[in-house]
Each structure stands twice: as structure tokens, then as C-alpha cells.
Amino acid sequence: MLLRCALDESRRGSPTVMTHDLKNQGAERQMKVISRLAAIAATVAALFAGAGTALAGLGQPTPWELGLQQAGSPVMADIITFHTFLLWIISAITAFILILLLTVIIRFNARSNPTPSRTTHNTPIEVIWTVVPVLILVAIAIPSFRLLFTELDVPTPDLTVKATGKQWYWSYAYPDNGNFEFDSLIVADKDLKPGQLRLLTVDNEMVVPVNKVIHVLVTGADVIHSFAVPSFGIKIDAVPGRINDTWFKATVQGTFHGQCSELCGKDHGFMPITVRVTDDKGFAAWAAQAKQKYAEGVNAPQTTVAAAR
């Protein structure tokens, strides 16, 4: 009789003990997962904070770059400011959601909260989660519309350049400076000189003066291309039979690289854009030489070579 009672008590107590052990093991696993996620988040945040700005280049991509290229124009400076503003908002939202998830995992699991609440509505919380997202969107919309207006409203230009995308190179025309035109082709790897960038160096650069408003007319001769120079904050499609326009004002002298950003065919990755920004005197000297050089058709054989690639 005593043995039977002992067996019955053991059978009744065994599931309780096992359930308690399972709950403890589950809680330990949850805490390990949370600690690992927190460590990963801290590592990623440190990488972005420490390396993002340091690795961003000016006028060209940089190995292992995480952030945007440095600004070479006021528009790009506004883009970077807006991007940083959005990053802070996104980080705050992500951190808030992470805190809520951790709170739910720790405070409202079956072990910590065996008797769940029967609450179905909470009017203040429902008002908050409706109003706050609207306020966030308004806060984002105001600088966003201001930036779009800045990009689309072209100031009075000091120089107009027409960029025509072709398979697979670019042609540049200067209607304000003698109405000359030339082709800009990629420099092959075997012809690169020390310091020149592979896939980004061209034989004839687009040259513009510093601190001047450059109005760029963009079109395509065959298929859709895209004219993009990251450090100037410009990117616009080159559509055959249509002229799109954009503008930039380079505030730094130097060489700025871009690429066609539209999948336009087999040599899409081999039609770079190179803009050389110089002072007024340097630009005037280049324009005088260019008028004579390209008016005499010096650039014509290169066009034939490009079409045959």
C-alpha cells in the first residue's frame, strides 16, 4: 500500500518537475539569444559609426565604402543631411521596437506572467500609435519636398552642356561655347596610366568651371541610359527622343567620376562619366583648345571605334 502511494505521488509530481525544468531551460535560451542579438547590434552600430564617414570618398568610390560619397555640390550636401536625418529617425524607431520586443520576451513569457491580462482596448495607446507615425511622416515630408524642389528648380545657368548616351559611350556638346561636340570613351585597362581608375577613366573628360551653375541636358541616341555623378547628387535618365535636364554647382576643383546607371546593353558597365572641375582661367583655356580640336574632327575616329565595340 505504501509502495503504491509512493508510485502515485511520483507520477503526479514528475510532469510538474519536468515542466519547471523546461521553463528554466527556455528562459535561459531566450536570455542567450537576446544577449547575442545585442552584441551583434552593438558591433554593427560601431562599424557604421566608425567607418561609414571615414571610408566615404570624394568624386570616386572607395574600397569598402559604407556611406555616401562626400559632397561636391550644395545639392549633394543637402542629400547627405537628409540621409543622416532619416538614419536617426530609422535608428530611433528600430531601437524603440527592439525595446518593446525585449520587454515582451522578458516580462510577458509564461514563466514570468502565468496569468495573462484580458485587456482588449487601450484608447491612449491606440491614439498614440496612430498620431505618432503621422507626425513622423510629416517631419520627413517637409525636408523631402524642400530637397526635391531644390533638385528640380534649375537656377539661371552659367553654362549648358548636353550629354547624349550612346551604345556605349557618352557625347558632350557645349552650345554656349562655340557649339562644339566630342565623344568620351572608356580607357582600356592596357592603356591606363599610374593613378588612373579602372572602368572610370575616359579619354575626353567633360570640363566645367568651379562655382558655376551647370545646366545638363540629357538624352539618349539609341536606348535608355542614365547620367549619374554621385558626388554632385545628380542622376537622370537619358531617353531617346526626349530631353531631360538636371543641374549641379561644383564647389570643389578636381575630378569626379560617375557611370551609366541604367542597364543599357552588353557594355553597360563600360561607359563611365568623368567631370573635371577647374577654375575660370583653366576652363577658358580648355574651351579655346576644344573649339579648334573638335571642330577639326579630331575625335571622329574614336566614335567609329566605340560603335564597333
pLDDT of residue 118: 83
**Residue 186: burial class (beta carbons within 10 Å; 0-12, 13-18, 19+):** buried
Residue pLDDT, tens place only, 75-94: 999 999 999 999 999 999 99
CB 200 within 8 A of CB 63: no
The CA-atom distances, in angstroms, between 274 and each of 108, 150, 163, 172, 217 are: 59, 24, 12, 11, 16
Residue pLDDT, tens place only, 241-267: 999 999 999 999 999 999 999 999 999
Q: Say which amino acid occupies 89.
A: I
**What is the full DSSP assignment across 254-272?**
EEEEEEE-S--STTGGG-E
Give the Cβ contact number of residue 7 at 10 Å.
Answer: 10
Predicted confidence (pLDDT) at residue 42 exceeds the cutoff of 80: no
Of 222, 242, 232, the residue nearest 171 (C-alpha)? 222
Residue pLDDT, tens place only, 189-244: 999 999 899 999 999 999 999 999 999 999 999 999 999 999 999 999 999 999 99
pLDDT of residue 65: 83
pLDDT of residue 301: 41
pLDDT of residue 177: 82
Kindly state the average pLDDT of the residues 287-292. 92
Confidence of residue 269 (pLDDT cuts 50, 70, 90): very high
| Residue 275 CB contacts under 8 Å (≥ 6 apart), including other chains | 205, 206, 207, 208, 229, 232, 250, 255, 256, 257, 258
pLDDT of residue 238: 97
Instruction: Please tell me the distance from the alpha carbon of residue 252 to that of residue 278, in angstroms, as a whole number.
Output: 8
Instruction: Please tell me the distance from the alpha carbon of residue 198 to that of residue 38, in angstroms, as a whole number.
Output: 40
**Residue 57: burial class (beta carbons within 10 Å; 0-12, 13-18, 19+):** middle
User: In the sheet where 169-174 sits, what is the strand order?
Assistant: 180-184, 169-174, 159-166, 213-220, 244-249
Does domain 159-307 fall into CATH 2.60.40.420? yes
Determine if the pTM surpasses 0.85. Answer: no
Q: Is the dihedral of CA 67, 71, 76, 81 positive or negative?
A: positive
Instruction: Please tell me the distance from the alpha carbon of residue 207 to that of residue 250, in angstroms, as a whole number.
Output: 11
C-alpha cell at 174: 557645349
Confidence of residue 35 (pLDDT cuts 50, 70, 90): low
C-alpha cell at 133: 507615425
Instruction: Please tell me the distance from the alpha carbon of residue 80 to that of residue 92, in angstroms, as a whole number.
Output: 18
Confidence of residue 40 (pLDDT cuts 50, 70, 90): low
C-alpha cell at 89: 529617425
CB 282 within 8 A of CB 211: no
